[in-house]
Amino acid sequence: MEIIPAIDIIDGKCVRLEQGNYDKVTLYHNEPLEVAKRFQDAGLKRLHLVDLDGAKAGAVKNWKVLESIAGKTSLIIDFGGGIKNQKDVEIVFNSGAALTTVGSIAVKDEEEFTKWLIKFGADKFLLGADVKNEKIAVSGWQETTEVWIYDFIQKYLDHGVKQIFCTDISKDGKMEGPAVDLYKNITSKFPDVFFVASGGVTSLSDLEKLKEIGCKGAIVGKAIYENKISLQDLHLFSIQ
């Protein structure tokens, strides 16, 4: 299972939100590049980079951070937050991302997102599904829809999407463990998808559980910054 460390950006700095709440921000580091270099030095290969300013504004804001990390590390970066039009997608790829992370637009405008899949290639997108009670949430978790997670995944698998990650809002940033039951349901229904769990990972035992139920990857954020899991342990786990 692939370990994907996360860096969330507000005002060019490395932060974390609790349950997507912009009023509950914790600052971890002023220099995201330095954090990314630590991940690389620890032997990790990927990076989940989230533009929280962009997610809130509905337009990519922190592409300079992406450009810096992509230019000065060899990490395979997926970048998301506020991507609402083709110009945003082009900015993300031109700034060095290997994958564009998309969530809200795939819910709100299937026609537009499908055009991107055709133009850039479905394998160039990491589809994000933020979930509350098995329903999709959008716009930086500020809006819950009536779209059922399983229907959402199936629709975009049919469009050729290869990688999907899911965040259970009730778990993210609370250090209470991941939504194992939800992820088990997803991996059992869609065993061939490259499914990435996100939110709530606090320990190596959490990662073991996710691996056992068929997750192909896991995004780890707060547990790293709160020193619950060491980077060395994450690297060793990823190469098992």
| Mode of pairing for the β-strands spanning 13-18 and 2-10 | antiparallel
| Mode of pairing for the β-strands spanning 194-198 and 217-220 | parallel
Catalytic residue among 8, 51, 53, 88: 8
Residue 109 bears catalytic tag? no
- Do 223 and 175 contact (CB within 8 A), yes or no? yes
φ/ψ (deg, to 5) at 34? -65, -40
Distance CA 198, CA 220 (A): 7
Distance CA 14, CA 26 (A): 9
Tokens (6 digits) for 6: 């996360």
Tokens (6 digits) for 35: 């954090």
Distance CA 186, CA 150 (A): 7
Cβ count within 10 A of residue 151: 9
DSSP state of 167: E
The owner of tokens 């590049």 is 33
Distance CA 175, CA 239 (A): 24
Residue 130 bears catalytic tag? yes
Catalytic residue among 53, 78, 88, 130: 130
| Catalytic residue IDs | 8, 130
